[in-house]
Structure 1
Amino acid sequence: MSASEVAVHLLTSCPSLKHFKVYMFGSALTGVGADIDILIVGPGGTLLSQVKSEFRSAGQALPLHLLCMLPSEALHTQFVAREKCVPLSQLALADR
């Protein structure tokens, strides 16, 4: 499954993602990795629990690795820029 196909699948299967900024990073973007690294940036608590549950269902057959950060953590670490994360919404557009 290509990165864009994974993005479409996750965005379609996980409605709670609308509350988060979600990115793919790592080797899956180049098609050489065995795993799919996903960064979820947003609130903790109930919303995060819900999106994790949706990811477990949507990703049963996918080798997903989730990294979750609060917005302040993502900003402080500059993780998105440093790791060249690509928004799932941008990847999904590439599939059209």
Structure 2
Amino acid sequence: MKLASFAIRAEDLPQILHIDWSNAWNLVRGRIADRGDMSAEQLMRYLAFEFGSVVVYEAIDPSKLRVFSTGSGPANPKTWPSLRDISVDLIVRHD
């Protein structure tokens, strides 16, 4: 399965984020058990940084999403074009 890389400014994120542990449930469960001293907010922040993946269930305007594309520098998502402004065939797909 090929993946694409997206970026979004923090202020454009929906108010409610969830942790995506769909691909590592046992590992996440262990991390939760190991950090029982953390508040729910601290734990969620830790897991988001640890696994680098969150889930949102609200719509995000495509103009707010930046997508890594041919000709984009991979290290600076601020320079990536918005999803709305790019041709699908220019989106970089990776493993």
TM-score, normalisation: structure 2: 0.23
Q: Which has the higher helix share?
A: 1
Structure ID, larger Rg: 2
TM-score, normalisation: structure 1: 0.23
